[in-house]
């Protein structure tokens, strides 16, 4: 157990309760919720602040004993793009401060997630005279380098350069991200704490495919290729769709894509047009956004999970798939290269083009024993990844930054 400090967690642009696969929801949402609940179980007091985008959600929602989600009024209570949210950071910070005053709280630490939150947290950290931790999750400069046509606002690029130097500590999910911060922004290793993401092994584990497919109304004899994530060009779903046209026997193959909301309409149209162009439209099903607690059935229904992304800071989808006993075929980028063992838990594809993805997908669909062997190896490897371990490392980091020694912690909690 750790000392019972109070932390303000800023997740301005997206709520940890949002369904996965929306324009602003993904692995970060899972991270914030899982970590907040587990830090609270370790004795930390956690308030997660997010911008209200829905008037029907209560102002305060209990996530777990000691952890709560607070909806902050900043701009209209409707979904907004990230570019529309940036001008609201000052208002968001002011409303967080107003909530603090109304509750007569003192926060010992700020932990910001994503650059927009970190911008809002800058003034709060200054006013409260507390340390400010940040987790970027993705970096605009890295996304641009990964895909030439990727567009990022000057506001984001400028803010990330400044924050990389001003944050008291940056939490990175992988050593690869730490090296990027050092190479791109000159951040010394001493200011970066590498703490990986985890997987909820109590939710994601191998179980009955028959039952999972029955609940999702997927035929038992179908060969299911699953992709999960936001529907945006950076995820490379077009590469996967073109690869499906190269599969040897497509008679039972189904491509199921989880993710996307109304804001992804243009990308849905583009992907559908590509599927028509290469003749696989009849294999394709868009499932839309799915609540995280329903994802285990999707993984268990799949024969293979594919992530053809141009950039991934960690790749939580791959981790959850492997924990569920499903082999993965992923781009050799970012955190994916750290978590997937090529040829043992899945395949790392160094080229972002359809042919190598198709080759490995085809191999797995035609070889039951190989698919099962890789799935079993994936489960074993993911035993080392747990949210409990992540929360322990993060709690220790909080205590270290606040200057709380092990002796103090033992005295306060144990005494």
Backbone dihedral angles phi then psi of residue 237, each to the nearest 5 degrees = -60, -30
The domains spanning 6-198+386-414 and 209-382 adopt the same CATH topology: yes
Residue ranges covered by each domain of the chain? 6-198+386-414, 209-382
Helix (H, G, I), strand (E, B) or coil at 56: coil
Parallel, antiparallel or unpaired: strands 223-228 and 67-72 = unpaired
Helix (H, G, I), strand (E, B) or coil at 323: helix
Closest C-alpha among 320, 331, 337, 313 to residue 378: 320
Fold of 6-198+386-414: Rossmann fold (3.40.50)
Q: What is the pLDDT of residues 108-141, one digit of tens each?
A: 999 999 999 999 999 999 999 999 999 998 888 8
Q: Can you give the pLDDT at residue 406?
A: 44
Q: Can you give the pLDDT at residue 149?
A: 57
Closest C-alpha among 395, 385, 394 to residue 198: 385
The contacts of residue 288 (CB under 8 Å, 6+ apart) are 21, 258, 259, 260, 261
The CA radius of gyration of the chain, in Å to the nearest whole number, is 21
pLDDT in tens, the chain (415 residues): 456 799 999 999 988 887 655 555 567 888 899 999 999 999 999 999 999 988 888 999 999 999 999 999 999 999 888 889 999 999 999 999 999 999 999 999 999 999 999 999 999 999 999 999 999 988 888 778 766 556 788 999 999 999 999 999 999 988 888 998 999 999 999 999 999 888 999 999 999 999 999 999 999 999 999 999 889 898 999 999 999 999 999 999 999 999 987 778 899 999 999 999 999 999 999 999 888 889 999 999 999 999 999 888 778 899 999 999 999 999 998 888 889 999 999 999 998 899 999 999 999 999 999 999 999 999 999 988 889 999 999 999 999 999 974 444 443 333 3
Instruction: Give yes or no for a contact between 92 and 11, defined as CB atoms under 8 angstroms apart.
Output: no
Q: Can you give the pLDDT at residue 408?
A: 45
The contacts of residue 77 (CB under 8 Å, 6+ apart) are 52, 53, 54, 55
Fold of 209-382: Rossmann fold (3.40.50)
Token digits of residue 303: 């024969």
CA distance 64 to 325: 29
Half-sphere exposure in the Cβ direction for 239 (13 Å, CA): 25
């Amino acid at each position: 157990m750790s000392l019972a400090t109070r932390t303000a967690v800023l997740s301005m642009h997206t709520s940890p309760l949002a369904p996965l696969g929306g324009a602003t929801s993904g692995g970060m949402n899972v991270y914030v919720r899982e970590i907040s609940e587990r830090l609270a179980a370790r004795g930390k007091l956690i308030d997660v602040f997010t911008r209200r985008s829905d008037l029907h959600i209560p102002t305060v929602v209990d996530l777990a004993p000691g952890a709560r989600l607070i909806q902050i009024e900043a701009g209209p209570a409707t979904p907004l793009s990230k570019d529309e949210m940036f001008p609201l950071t000052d208002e968001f910070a002011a409303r967080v401060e107003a909530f603090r005053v109304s509750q007569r709280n003192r926060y010992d630490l700020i932990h910001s997630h994503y650059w927009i939150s970190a911008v809002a947290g800058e003034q709060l950290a200054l006013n409260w005279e507390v340390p400010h931790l940040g987790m970027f999750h993705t970096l605009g400069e890295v996304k641009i380098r990964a895909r030439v046509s990727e567009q990022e606002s000057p506001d984001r690029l400028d803010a990330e350069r400044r924050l990389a130097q001003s944050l008291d500590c940056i939490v990175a999910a992988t050593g690869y991200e730490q090296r990027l911060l050092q190479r791109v922004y000159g951040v010394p290793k001493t200011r970066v704490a590498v703490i990986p993401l985890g997987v909820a092994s109590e939710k994601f584990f191998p179980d009955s495919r028959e039952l999972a497919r029955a609940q999702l109304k997927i035929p038992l004899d179908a060969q299911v290729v699953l992709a999960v994530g936001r529907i945006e060009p950076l995820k490379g779903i077009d590469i996967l769709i073109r690869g499906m046209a190269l599969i040897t026997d497509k008679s039972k193959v189904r491509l199921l894509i989880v993710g996307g909301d109304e804001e992804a309409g243009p990308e849905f149209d583009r992907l559908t047009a590509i599927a028509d162009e290469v003749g696989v439209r009849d294999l394709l099903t868009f499932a839309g956004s799915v609540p995280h607690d329903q994802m285990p059935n999707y993984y268990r229904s799949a024969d293979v999970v594919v992530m053809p992304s141009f950039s991934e800071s960690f790749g939580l989808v791959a981790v959850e798939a492997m924990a569920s006993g499903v082999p993965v075929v992923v781009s050799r980028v970012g955190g994916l290269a750290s978590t997937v063992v090529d040829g043992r838990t899945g395949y790392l594809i160094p080229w972002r083009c359809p042919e190598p993805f198709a080759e490995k997908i085809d191999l797995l669909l035609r070889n039951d024993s190989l698919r099962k062997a890789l799935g079993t190896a994936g489960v074993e490897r993911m035993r080392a990844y747990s949210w409990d371990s992540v929360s322990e490392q993060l709690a220790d980091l909080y205590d270290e930054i606040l200057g709380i020694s092990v002796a103090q912690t033992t005295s306060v909690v144990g005494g």
